[in-house]
Amino acid sequence: MTERRIYLDYAASTPVNARVLERMRDVALSNCANPSSTHAAGREAQDIIAAAAGQLGRLLNVDPDTVVWTSGATESDNLAIGGSARHRAHRGRHLVTMKTEHKAVTDMFEALVKEGFEVTWVEPDGNGLVSPEVFAAALRDDTQLASIMFVNNETGVIQDIEALGAICRERDVLFHVDGAQAVGKLPVDLGALPVDLLSLTGHKFYGPKGIGALYIANRPGCRVEPILFGGGQQRRIRPGTLPTDLVAGLGMAAEVAATRIEADLKHLRGLRKALWDGIRSVDGLTLNGDPDGFPGILNVSVEDVEGESLLLALEPVCVATGSACNSKSQEPSYVLRALGRSDLQAQSAIRFSVGRQTTMEEVEFAAARYRDAVARLRKLAPGAVA
């Protein structure tokens, strides 16, 4: 086991599924046309894209026409939040979100503040959950948009999207959900959930990087202003030449996911239990997040150990000290600080995230490596007793 890497960072990115790779290769080799072209090859590319929209639509239980292709969840978040807030600005400029959202969401809200919008940042409880009562209290008569993440990328906390969305519907507030960590991993039925806008990206559920989508509900008042300009593609909501092979890959990832979500969840539950059982005896260990959260993520802090040192000591196990988008920062996780963790607790946090290809043997090795690494680092700490 020590001869090879053990990848336990599936929340950052997942390996591309073999059927996805095959589909992308076939499309890349058979059709180089611009899907905006009206000749036969262009029409074929359009058909490939339409087929992928159908695959994604079936996974989400929505009309394929409600899917807008983007470069990934960051662009989808920006388009959904910025585009809808600006479209409804004449009705009101108050927005609501949480302090534990992804940077693609929090930074977009900060940008809107500079444009004259007002944001209420809802506080989570110690497990990272927001109660419907706290959420409802944050809404005002002039609130036009609320954005809450489905599954938190650092802690795996699952929010009650159905209850929060119902509150928004009652108040005529648009409800955006960052679904990057949920789509393809949990059942997400947008035909039943009161969600107006949902962002997703392919590489979080065994599809390619560089391709994502935004669901925009087909109902009155749910529209977004574009943030990109330069063409008439996708009803001018998101112009630009679509990468046919990447779109086809995301579509196939959706088709594969639709057949195995329950099997994947069962696998992940077993892995997470084994991992937690293997490390829970470590003194000074704290579980970050809800114990009933997404089973693919386990985030823990430990006393008297610094996170970056622990990260290196865990090699060849590949894990994270925080979200992938923020891993270059030396600041403690803002998500964990919002949960009430101290700077030292946040800096010692390690996020394990497992997936389809993770084996029980890998998880058991990682648990043993974690126990040993904590013990070794504590012995090296200043003031440690020899």
Write out the residue limits of the CATH 3.40.640.10 domain(s) in the chain.
Answer: 18-256
Does 329 have pLDDT greater than 60? no
Task: Mention every residue, 6+ apart, whose C-beta is less than 8 A from residue 280.
Answer: none
What pLDDT shows up at residue 323? Answer: 43
Distance CA 244, CA 113 (A): 36
pLDDT in tens, 227-285: 999 988 999 999 999 999 999 999 999 999 999 999 999 999 999 999 999 999 999 99
Q: Is the peptide bond before 35 cis (omega within 30 degrees of 0)?
A: no
The confidence band for 386, taking pLDDT boundaries of 50, 70 and 90, is very low
What's the one-letter identity of residue 211? I
Read off φ and ψ for residue 12, nearest 5 degrees.
-80, -45
Q: What is the mean pLDDT of the chain?
A: 94
Distance CA 130, CA 122 (A): 8
Side-chain-facing half-sphere of 153: CA atoms under 13 Å: 32
Confirm if 201 and 105 have CB atoms less than 8 A apart: no
Query: Among this protein's residues, is 222 annotated catalytic?
Result: no
360-380 and 244-279 are packed helices; what angle lies between their axes, rounded to 10 degrees?
A: 60
pLDDT in tens, 221-230: 999 999 999 9
Could you say which of 32, 168, 318, 325 is catalytic? 325
Max Cα–Cα distance, the chain, nearest Å: 77
pLDDT in tens, 362-372: 999 999 999 99
CATH number of this structure's domain 18-256, picked from the four choices 1.10.132.20, 3.40.50.280, 3.40.640.10, 3.40.630.90: 3.40.640.10
Percent of the chain residues past pLDDT 70, beyond the cut:
96
Number of helices and strands (H, E) in the chain?
A: 11, 12
Confirm if 9 and 353 have CB atoms less than 8 A apart: yes
Does 382 have pLDDT greater than 90? no
Does 14 have pLDDT greater than 70? yes
Does 128 have pLDDT greater than 70? yes
Q: Is the peptide bond before 226 cis (omega within 30 degrees of 0)?
A: no
The confidence band for 324, taking pLDDT boundaries of 50, 70 and 90, is very low
Distance CA 96, CA 118 (A): 9
Q: pTM, whole model, 2 decimals?
A: 0.94
What pLDDT shows up at residue 142? Answer: 98
What pLDDT shows up at residue 185? Answer: 98
The confidence band for 292, taking pLDDT boundaries of 50, 70 and 90, is very high
Count of residues in the chain: 386
Write out the residue limits of the CATH 3.90.1150.10 domain(s) in the chain.
Answer: 6-14+261-380
What is the rounded average pLDDT of the residues 179-187? 98
What pLDDT shows up at residue 208? Answer: 98
What pLDDT shows up at residue 92? Answer: 97
Q: Render 225-251 in DSSP notation, one character per residue.
A: --S--S--GGGGTS-S---HHHHHHHH
Confirm if 230 and 9 have CB atoms less than 8 A apart: no
CATH number of this structure's domain 6-14+261-380, picked from the four choices 3.40.50.300, 2.60.410.10, 3.90.1150.10, 2.70.98.40: 3.90.1150.10
pLDDT in tens, 57-93: 999 999 999 999 999 999 999 999 999 999 999 999 9
Report the range of poorest mean pLDDT among 146-150, 199-203, 337-341: 337-341
What is the rounded average pLDDT of the residues 94-121? 97
The confidence band for 332, taking pLDDT boundaries of 50, 70 and 90, is confident
Closest CA to 288 of 275, 278, 279, 297: 297
The confidence band for 200, taking pLDDT boundaries of 50, 70 and 90, is very high
Confirm if 24 and 207 have CB atoms less than 8 A apart: no
